[in-house]
Amino acid sequence: PKGFDCSGFTGYIFKQFGISLKASSSSQYTQGTPVVTDDLRPGDLVFFNGRRAGTSRVGHVGMVVDVDAEAGTFKFIHSAISSGITISDSSEPYYSRRYIGARRVIDESSLN
């Protein structure tokens, strides 16, 4: 659907699989378990600070769709009301400067 903000989009995606996420990107950052960049997998949530790079305040969330372990980068799908749903690369300067961390909210034991 058109007009998602970032956390609304991730919440919508996960709801389709029976997983409830909290409403805001900062509250989604408290869910699941932390994941180091070297261990990212598709489906993990990735978090970025807002327009002021260098702060630790969460301002944006996306979901990993592809990982390039050799390069240490990942592609993620995310949404903003102004630009819609897009896929970006973690190596893009805007995102590489603002990356805060990642969380895994998918219970892998339930996937078997």
Question: Among the options 49, 60, 79, 102, which is catalytic?
Answer: 60
* Catalytic residue status for 72: no
Question: Among the options 49, 63, 78, 104, which is catalytic?
Answer: 78
Question: Among the options 5, 6, 46, 104, which is catalytic?
Answer: 6
Dihedral of the alpha carbons of 11, 15, 19, 22, in degrees to the nearest 10: 30
* Catalytic residue status for 63: no
| Contact present, 42 and 65 (Cβ < 8 Å) | yes
CA distance 80 to 92: 17
* Catalytic residue status for 28: no
Residues annotated catalytic, as ranges: 6, 60, 78
